[in-house]
């Protein structure tokens, strides 16, 4: 859960800092571009952590299912606001791509750390990390 709080606080803090120099008409795009990757990273990290606690050998199957779900989610998440004209495409896509890469990098780091430590105990054991 600690990594979830890092992802949430880091994303919100950077979005707040980035809204200062950004033109007011692009601020909505910045926040919407951040929200989808953040939601995806948080949900997938919680699912991976729970799977690792219950049955670590099932991680690959879970990650394949999560990849398919993310493809469907992100296709709609990008297509709907852009095609209906709710956001300006360039600032939205730049924000989306930056947060997507950063948050998935954090997830990869967390997954590596989770597997290196090899802890398979209770959920409370993961809270202290």
Residue of 127 and 84 predicted with greater confidence? 84
Cβ–Cβ under 8 Å, residues 54 and 122: no
Please report, for the chain, the start and end positions of each structural domain, with discontinuous segments joined by +.
2-8+29-127
The DSSP code sequence of 57-106 is: GGHHHHHHHHHHHHHHHHHHHHHHHHHTTSS-HHHHHHHHHHHHHHHHHH
Split at pLDDT 50, 70, 90, the class of 119 is low
* pTM metric for this prediction: 0.84
Q: Which DSSP symbol is given to 25?
A: G
pLDDT of amino acid 23: 87
* pLDDT per residue as tens digits for the range 36-53: 999 999 999 999 999 999
pLDDT of amino acid 63: 94
pLDDT above 90 coverage of the chain, percent: 77
């Amino acid at each position: 859960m600690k990594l979830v709080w890092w992802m949430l606080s880091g994303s919100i803090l950077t979005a707040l800092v980035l809204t200062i120099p950004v033109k007011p008409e692009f601020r909505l795009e910045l926040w919407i571009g951040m929200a989808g990757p953040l939601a995806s990273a948080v949900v997938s990290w919680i699912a991976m952590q729970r799977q690792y606690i219950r049955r670590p050998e099932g991680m690959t199957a879970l990650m394949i299912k999560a990849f398919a779900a993310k493809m469907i989610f992100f296709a709609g998440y990008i297509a709907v606001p852009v095609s209906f004209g709710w956001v300006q495409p360039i600032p939205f896509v730049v924000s989306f791509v930056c947060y997507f890469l950063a948050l998935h990098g954090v997830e990869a780091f967390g997954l590596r750390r989770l597997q290196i430590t090899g802890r398979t105990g209770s959920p409370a054991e993961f809270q202290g990390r």
